[in-house]
Every structure is written in structure tokens, then in C-alpha cells.
């Protein structure tokens, strides 16, 4: 049974992991006969957003603690991730990827990436193991690796940023997966497009299927 490591960035699209993408990715992994374990960095969120009105809230939350909501408590600090123990690495999207796992939401192409995220990506890449990213999360791969063919959908500004960081961008539609064979990268747009939950399910299922087919 192939084992995925799924990295979350909090809980909720505006300040953490996108819940639909995270949940449907885990569902797709199990449905297709693989297993997963969940990780998140043990750091404070950049900020907390009221998901009802979009306003910032005067409180602080921990990314690992919030991610544990999605993982039903079964989660590990990303600092404990060991590439040798997993066949694949997967990043659901959500603003947490651009606010907590990196500073892309604020600094664009000059963004910094969380040290544990960078270590995990480089470790898997050096081991020749597949890495998947949904929605906005491919910007992490562009920044860390500085190469590869990726997709974030069709947003021109984000696509330009991906290319400025050294990667190549390919426009995609709902459910499409871009596979960079040379770098073992798999990306799909999900909510970077105007999508509904069924289309998110298609994207999650397709990227997991593509990664498992690669792993054989």
C-alpha cells in the first residue's frame, strides 16, 4: 500500500487549508487503495479570518492545532516528517499555503517558505518521489525548486509569478492535472478556478490517481 504525507496549513480557506480540497484529497487517497498521514508546521497562523464576513479577528491560532480539526486529531508536526517513510507528498491549497506555509500572499515572488516545508519538499525531490499540489500550493514548489512545469489554473498574475520564480506555467481547466515527469511534480487548479465541490472532488481524485499510476 502506497503511503502519502498530506501537509495542511490550518483550517479554513482564508487563513488555512482549504477544507474541501484537504478532505477530498484524503478521501481520494483512501478510495484508491492508498494510505495517508497528516502533517502541519507547529507555528502560529499569520492571522485569523472570520469566514462569515471576511474580516480579521483579534486572536491568534496555531497552524498544527487548527489543522488537527481536519485530521480529527491524528496529525504530526511537519518537523518530524521523514521522506524515507512515504511514497508521495501532497499539499492541498487554501490561503494558508500562501500565508502560513509561505509569505507568497504578501511578498509575491520574493516570498519566504517555512523551513519545514522547504525541507520536506527538497527531501522528497532529492529522493525522486512524487510531490502533488492543489490550488495555490504549487507556488511553494516554484519558490523552493525554482523549476518544473506547474499549473495554478488560469490566473495571469499568479502564473506570471510562478514563471518569475523559475517554473513554467501551463493553463488548465477543472480537473486537469499537469505532470512534470522530470521533477516528479503533479499540480491541479481546484479553487484557483471558479469551481464547485464536485469539480474539486474531480481534481483531487485525478491528481491522486496520476500520482499512484506513476508510483505503479
d(CA 130, CA 181): 9
How would DSSP label each residue in 2-59? -EEEEE---SSTTTS--HHHHHHHHHHHHHTT-EEEEEE--SB-S-EE-TTT--EES-
For residue 135, indicate whether it is catalytic: yes
Closest C-alpha to 185, from 153, 117, 139, 119: 139
Which residues in 105-196 belong to E strands, given as ranges? 131-134, 149-150, 168-169, 178-180, 185-188
Residues 6+ apart with CB under 8 A from 75: 8, 38, 39, 40, 64, 67, 68
Cross-strand pairs, 4: 36, 88
d(CA 100, CA 114): 8
The residue annotated as part of the active site, out of 11, 111, 135, 190, is: 135
Catalytic site positions: 135
Amino acid at each position: 500500500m502506497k503511503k502519502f504525507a498530506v501537509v495542511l496549513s490550518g483550517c479554513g480557506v482564508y487563513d488555512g487549508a482549504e477544507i474541501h480540497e484537504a478532505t477530498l484529497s484524503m478521501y481520494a487517497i483512501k478510495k484508491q487503495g492508498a494510505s495517508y498521514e497528516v502533517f502541519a508546521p507547529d507555528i502560529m497562523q499569520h492571522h485569523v479570518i472570520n469566514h462569515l464576513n471576511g474580516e480579521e479577528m483579534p486572536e491568534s491560532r496555531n497552524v498544527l492545532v487548527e489543522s488537527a480539526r481536519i485530521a480529527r486529531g491524528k496529525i504530526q508536526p511537519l518537523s518530524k516528517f521523514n521522506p524515507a517513510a512515504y511514497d508521495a507528498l501532497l499539499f492541498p491549497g487554501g490561503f494558508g499555503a500562501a500565508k502560513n506555509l509561505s509569505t507568497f500572499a504578501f511578498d509575491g515572488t520574493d516570498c519566504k517558505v517555512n523551513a519545514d516545508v522547504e525541507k520536506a519538499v527538497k527531501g522528497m525531490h532529492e529522493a525522486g518521489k512524487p510531490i502533488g499540489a492543489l490550488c495555490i500550493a504549487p507556488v511553494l514548489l516554484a519558490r523552493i525548486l525554482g523549476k518544473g512545469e506547474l499549473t495554478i489554473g488560469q490566473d495571469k498574475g499568479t502564473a506570471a509569478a510562478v514563471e518569475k520564480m523559475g517554473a513554467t506555467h501551463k493553463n488548465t481547466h477543472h480537473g486537469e492535472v499537469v505532470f512534470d515527469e522530470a521533477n516528479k511534480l503533479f499540480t491541479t487548479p481546484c479553487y484557483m478556478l471558479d469551481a464547485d465541490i464536485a469539480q474539486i472532488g474531480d481534481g483531487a481524485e485525478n491528481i491522486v490517481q496520476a500520482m499512484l499510476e506513476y508510483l505503479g
